[in-house]
């Protein structure tokens, strides 16, 4: 969007109003590809009603399956993979450009149009992944891990702060591996030290880290006030035999010891994880032990994927022996277990006063605003509904002190106190 804005295009929120419709796709797993195809078909339906419209399809799905997609959707006007995002204007205008050899890695000079609420933003620090997890297609799509320079990330953070951003969320496919491609151990800690000094930024959150990369040094710097005590560590499973097939190394007992060390170092930490159910070899006994692991770990936040066999990955040769309905049943069982854990954890916040980052102000109804605490990441975790009983929400105060008056399964309710 930044490149399009710079080239003079105007962005419309509704595709029905646009002359150009861009569908940015995901190619990670089957459900994501199905959703992407639905988006393509919707865009082509709008093009059919107005033939002068241009339909562009971009992203990971295109990067991985472009020939198949071109054959299935011949009326798409422009195809653009992850190596050429910055050439979107040239592609639209049918101007020649040199195609990239590797995934486009943005920098601090990349034009940017913020699509998040005015109080927070994502900050991508690397692209690609050099881990070899047997189930994962990301290296096939994005290529090997490459991180930005510390200078570039800090410069972008400073620019975001100048635009009023209060919270930055560091994202990548392997955030804790930052600098590893340059053989620079400790670069993530050095980056965090620099970001702490950026004036205007009040919260710094890291999303997605490998369990083996959670070091004592990282936990030590996370004690700094600006850094949210929040870790997103996808453990994927608890059973050693399953994890060996996944090409992951940390089994459930080691994971529980790591979680204990994290909670000792950061008593207020919130830990998110994701797990996969229905991986080849997961029988009923393995699934029962996975449930026991979830009960013991008591994660603050948890998501479940059903296994999706991906062509080109090592696990593809193992087949897909667990039926889809059984995978769905196991996913629902884990999520029901997690719902009880989450509701129990949230009760400890009743009558406590928490800093809440306001994301949106409600013009009417019971709620005055919706926001998040330091232990809630955007778009994946619960929220705080700020009720109208207390002082009015101020547009000039992105972070408010809120007394929690009620808790649910994933969300909190409270009133502003000043």
Cα–Cα dist 376/368, whole Å: 19
Burial 116-132 (b: 16+ CB within 10 A, else e): ebebbbbbbbbbbbebe
The DSSP call for residue 236 is B
Task: Give, for all 418 residues of the chain, the pLDDT tens digit.
Answer: 999 999 999 999 899 999 999 999 999 899 999 999 999 999 999 999 999 999 999 999 999 999 999 999 999 999 999 999 999 999 999 999 999 999 999 999 999 999 999 999 999 999 999 999 999 999 999 999 999 999 999 999 999 999 999 999 999 999 999 999 888 889 999 999 999 999 999 999 999 999 999 999 999 999 999 999 999 999 999 999 999 999 998 999 999 999 999 999 999 999 999 999 999 999 999 999 999 999 999 999 999 999 999 999 999 999 999 999 999 999 999 999 999 999 999 999 999 999 999 999 888 778 899 999 999 999 999 999 999 888 888 877 899 999 999 999 999 999 999 8
Locate the domains of the chain by residue range.
2-92, 120-347, 351-416
Say which residues have a Cβ less than 8 Å from residue 66's Cβ, sequence separation at least 6. Answer: 79, 81
Torsion sign (Cα): 169, 175, 181, 183: positive
Cα 385 to chain centroid distance, Å, stands at: 22
Q: What is the pLDDT, as a whole number, of residue 367?
A: 80
Q: What is the pLDDT, as a whole number, of residue 363?
A: 81
- The crossing angle, in degrees rounded to 10, of helices 252-265 and 284-297 is 10
Indicate the pTM of the whole model: 0.93
The DSSP call for residue 280 is T
Give, in words, the CATH class of 351-416.
mainly beta
Q: Is residue 162 exposed (0-12), middle (13-18) or buried (19+ Cβ within 10 Å)?
A: exposed
Number of separate helices (H) and strands (E) present in the chain: 12, 16
Q: What is the pLDDT, as a whole number, of residue 395?
A: 75
Q: What is the pLDDT, as a whole number, of residue 327?
A: 97
Q: What is the CA angle 271-274-279, rounded to 5?
A: 150
Q: What is the CA angle 51-53-55, rounded to 5?
A: 115
Asked if 300 and 270 touch (Cβ cutoff 8 Å), the reply is yes
Give, in words, the CATH class of 120-347.
alpha beta
The DSSP call for residue 394 is P
Torsion sign (Cα): 275, 278, 283, 287: positive
Cα–Cα dist 19/186, whole Å: 47
Cα–Cα dist 388/402, whole Å: 12
Asked if 395 and 137 touch (Cβ cutoff 8 Å), the reply is no
Q: What is the pLDDT, as a whole number, of residue 253?
A: 95
| CATH entry 3.40.50.12160 includes domain 2-92 | yes
């Amino acid at each position: 969007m930044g490149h399009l804005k710079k080239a003079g295009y105007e962005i419309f929120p509704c595709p029905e109003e646009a002359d150009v419709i861009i569908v940015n796709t995901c190619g990670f797993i089957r459900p994501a590809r199905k959703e992407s195809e639905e988006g393509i078909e919707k865009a082509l339906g709008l093009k059919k009603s107005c033939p002068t419209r241009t339909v562009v399809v971009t992203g990971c799905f295109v990067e991985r399956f472009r020939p198949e997609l071109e054959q299935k959707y011949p009326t798409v006007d422009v195809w653009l993979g992850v190596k050429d995002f910055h050439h979107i204007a040239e592609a639209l205008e049918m101007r020649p450009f040199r195609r990239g050899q590797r995934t486009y890695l943005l920098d601090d000079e990349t034009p940017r149009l913020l699509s998040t609420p005015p109080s927070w933003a994502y900050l991508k620090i690397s692209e690609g992944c050099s881990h070899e997890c047997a189930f994962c297609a990301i290296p096939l799509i994005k290529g090997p891990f490459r991180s930005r320079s510390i200078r570039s990330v800090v410069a972008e953070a400073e620019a975001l702060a100048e635009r009023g951003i209060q919270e930055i969320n560091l994202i990548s496919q392997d955030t804790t591996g930052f600098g590893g491609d340059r053989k620079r151990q400790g670069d993530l800690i050095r980056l965090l030290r620099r970001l702490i000094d950026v004036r205007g930024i009040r919260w710094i959150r890291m999303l997605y880290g490998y369990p083996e990369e959670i070091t004592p040094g990282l936990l030590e710097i996370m004690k700094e006030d600006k850094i949210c005590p929040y870790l997103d560590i996808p453990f994927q499973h608890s059973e050693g035999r399953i994890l060996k097939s996944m090409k992951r190394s940390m089994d459930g007992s080691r994971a529980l010891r790591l979680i204990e060390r994290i909670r000792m170092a950061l008593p207020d930490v919130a830990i998110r994880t994701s797990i996969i159910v229905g991986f080849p070899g997961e029988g009923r006994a393995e699934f029962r032990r996975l449930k026991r692991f979830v009960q013991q770990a008591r994660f603050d936040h948890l998501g479940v994927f059903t296994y999706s066999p991906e062509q080109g990955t090592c696990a593809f040769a193992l087949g897909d022996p667990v039926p889809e309905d059984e995978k769905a049943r196991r996913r629902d069982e884990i999520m029901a277990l997690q719902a009880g854990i989450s509701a129990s954890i949230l009760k400890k916040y009743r009558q406590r006063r928490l800093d809440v980052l306001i994301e949106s102000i409600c013009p009417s109804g019971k709620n005055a605003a919706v926001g998040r605490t330091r232990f809630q990441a955007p778009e994946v975790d619960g929220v705080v509904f700020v009720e109208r009983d207390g002082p009015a929400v101020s547009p000039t105060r992105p972070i408010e002190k809120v007394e929690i008056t009620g808790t649910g399964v994933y969300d909190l309710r409270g009133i502003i106190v000043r």
